[in-house]
Copies of this chain bind each other. A is one copy, B any other.
Amino acid sequence: MASQDHSYLHKKVMPIGTVCELTGLSERQIRYYEERKLIFPQRTDKGNRKYSFSDVESLMEIANKMEDGIQTAEIRKELLKRKEKNSEESLRNTMIKGQLNAQFHKGSIR
């Protein structure tokens, strides 16, 4: 419930040109990382990509890893692991909340 939603952080609002300036990457690179499933911009109804600030942050991490000679396939694996971890965490949190809720209704708390 406080996991994210920094409201603006995840809003897809900027065109690829802005992302180039912010990250120092070329359009080619940015589109390629999307092709390799490392980032997921939104599309307008007519096909133009829109990115969020968190996409920009991701791209900067990716750029660093690429400089270290890590391949896109590797980077994708790391992302998947991170995703798993987050799911586990949120599952755990959900369960804890469930426990608390049960205690609350039993009257043990409050």
Contact = CB atoms under 8 A, between A and B. Distances in A.
A26 interface: no
A9 interface: yes
A30 interface: no
Contacts of A58: none
- This chain: how many copies in the complex? 2
Contacts of A44: 17
B18 A50 contact: yes
A75 interface: no
A13 B9 contact: no
Nearest to A17: B44
Interface string A49-62: 01001000000000
Given A13-B13, A13-B18, A18-B13, A8 B53 contact: yes
Given A13-B22, A14-B15, A18-B50, 12 more contacts: A8-B8, A8-B9, A8-B53, A11-B53, A13-B13, A13-B14, A13-B18, A13-B53, A14-B14, A14-B18, A15-B15, A17-B44
A54 to B, nearest CB: 10
